[in-house]
Amino acid sequence: MSALAMLFRAERVKLRKSWPMLTAILAPVCQTGFLGVIFWFSAERLRLFRPGFRFWMELNYMTWSLVLMPIAVALICALSWDQEREARAWNLLLVQPQPCHAHYLAKLSGHLSLLLLAQVLLAVVLPLGGWILRLNPDLQMGPLPVAIWLRFAGFAALASVAVAAFQTWLSMRVPSLWAALAAALAGSWLALRWLDGPAFGQWLPWGMAGQMAIIFDRQRALPWAHSLASLAAAALLIGLGTVDFGRQHGPRA
């Protein structure tokens, strides 16, 4: 078994009963519940956006990509590194017979796995919420738009990789929850502001997630081409983070 696989299995044990795990579970559930309540009592205002089920998906995935996902990633990464700091774990981790960079990559894999769990939960909870909303005939929910559902879920999952790569690096360097949250919200706001603006805006870690805002503009298709730029940015951030971790926590000169 490779060093990364061994460390990732250990990482999964660390995440049991932890705040990062709780964040990954609560973020999609709370968002869906909150928006569900608003949706239920806004039938009059939602007429413009019918069919209801499609709008339910659009509203949730836009909110997720622009607000909840960046916040959840920031919380997961900051809390997960805090866990290592509180345990004063470096002396334990670095005397294991594994290369130093593998510890960073295992940490990132742990964050990505929690993010995946959150997105799978969101993808499961959304249709369930939609079916409950169907009980209100004024919402005219209609059938579940399976193709849109799958497209949104895939796009949001790809968009979150670069955000996780950035926040993993940031929280390793800066031990502050507030700094992580501030960076997440500022990045998301910039990505939204530069949606059709400067080209480098798309290279921001939040660039691809920001593109989710175009889904209300129904004649436009999701810009899948951005996923290449986003994944390339993620790869760059992972590389830089790994090197920086080695400098920070490898044998000190």
Partner 1 sequence: MDFVIATQGLTRRYGSRTVVADLDLQVPAQTITGFLGPNGAGKTTTICLLLGLIKAHAGTCQVLGLPPGDPAALAQLGALVEAPSLYDHLTGRENLEITRLMRGLARPEVDRVLGLVDLARDARRPVREYSLGMRQRLGVALALLGEPRLLILDEPTNGLDPSGIQDMRQLIRGLPGETGASVFLSSHLLAEVEQVAGNLVVIHQGRLRYQGPTEGLGEGPDLELVLRVGDSGRAQAALLPLGYTARAEDGQLWVQAAAGDAPRIAACLVGAGIELYELAPRRVNLETRFLALLEQS
First to last CA, the chain: 31
Cβ partners under 8 Å of residue 152, min gap 6 = 57, 58, 61, 212, 215, 222
**Cα 219 from chain centroid (whole Å):** 26
| Smallest distance from partner 1 to CB 7, Å | 6
Cα–Cα distances in Å, from 94 out to 2, 13, 53, 171?
17, 18, 50, 19
Q: How far is the CB of 2 from partner 1 (least distance, A)?
A: 10
Nearest distance from residue 198's CB to partner 1, in Å?
44
What whole-number distance in Å separates Cα of residue 176 and Cα of residue 169? 12
If the CB atoms of residues 86 and 217 are measured against partner 1, the closer one turns out to be 86
The verdict on 26 binding partner 1 (CB under 8 A) reads: no
For the chain, give the longest Cα–Cα distance. 69
* Nearer residue to partner 1 within complex by CB, 20 or 130: 20
Q: Is 89 in the site for partner 1 (CB under 8 A)?
A: yes
Closest approach of partner 1 to the CB of residue 72, in Å: 19
Nearer to partner 1, 22 or 240 (CB): 22
Quick one: which segment of 1-9, 45-53, 151-159, 206-214 binds partner 1 (CB under 8 A)? 1-9
Query: Residue 233: what residue type?
Result: A
Binding-site member from 63, 96, 136, 140 for partner 1 (CB under 8 A): 96
Least CB distance to partner 1 at residue 53 (A): 40
**Considering the rule CB under 8 A, would residue 93 count as an interface residue with partner 1?**
yes
Q: Which is nearer to partner 1, 25 or 195 (CB)?
A: 25
Among 30, 37, 92, 236, binds partner 1 (CB under 8 A): 92
Q: State the burial class of residue 121 (Cβ atoms within 10 Å of its Cβ: 0-12, 13-18, 19+).
A: middle
Note whether 198 binds partner 1 by CB under 8 A.
no
Under the phi-then-psi rule, with left for phi > 0, alpha for psi from -120 to 50, and beta for the rest, what region is 60?
A: alpha
Q: Which of residues 105-164 bind partner 1 (CB under 8 A)?
A: none
By CB under 8 A, what part of segment 232-251 binds partner 1? 251
The CA–CA distances, whole Å, from 153 to 12, 64, 230 equal 24, 10, 16
Q: Retrieve residue 139's tokens.
A: 């919402």
Task: For residue 38, state whether it binds partner 1 (rule: CB under 8 A).
Answer: no
95 near partner 1 (CB under 8 A):
yes
Residues 123, 149: contact at Cβ < 8 Å? yes
58-87 residues near partner 1, rule: CB under 8 A:
83, 86-87
Interface residues toward partner 1, by CB under 8 A: 1, 6-7, 9-10, 13-14, 16-18, 83, 86-99, 251-253
